[in-house]
Amino acid sequence: MTEKRSSILNVREIPPKTDKKNVMQVTMQHALKLFWRPKAIELEDDGVMSYEKVEIIRRNDGSIRFNNKMPYHVTLGYIGTNGITMLPQTQSLMVTPYSHADTQFKNVPSAFQVGYINDFGGLSFYEINCPTVNNSCNVSVAKRDK
Find the DSSP H helices in the chain. none
Q: Supply the pLDDT for residue 129.
A: 95
57 and 33 belong to one structural domain:
no
CA 94 to chain CA mean position, Å: 4
Considering its fold, how many domains does the chain have in total? 2
Degrees (nearest 5) of the Cα angle 67, 70, 73? 85
User: Does one domain contain both 57 and 92?
Assistant: yes
Does residue 5 contact residue 42 with C-beta atoms inside 8 Å?
no
CA nearest to 65, candidates 35, 106, 102: 102
Structure pTM? 0.77
Contact 109, 82 (CB under 8 A): no
CB-based contact 107:81 (threshold 8 Å): no
User: Domain check: are 132 and 71 in the same one?
Assistant: yes
Q: Are residues 83 and 32 in the same domain?
A: no
Q: Is residue 22 part of a domain?
A: yes
Give pLDDT, residue 67: 96
Taking residue 63's Cβ as centre, other Cβ atoms within 10 Å add up to 15
How are beta strands 123-129 and 111-117 bridged, if at all? antiparallel
Asked whether the CA dihedral 53, 57, 63, 69 is positive or negative, the reply is negative
Tell me: do 81 and 137 sit in the same domain: yes
CA-derived radius of gyration, the chain: 19
pLDDT tens across the length of the chain (146 residues)? 677 777 776 666 777 888 888 888 777 666 667 777 888 888 776 667 788 889 999 998 888 999 999 998 999 999 999 888 888 776 788 999 999 999 888 778 889 999 999 888 889 999 999 998 888 999 998 886 54
The pLDDT of residue 144: 67
Tell whether 2 is covered by a domain: no
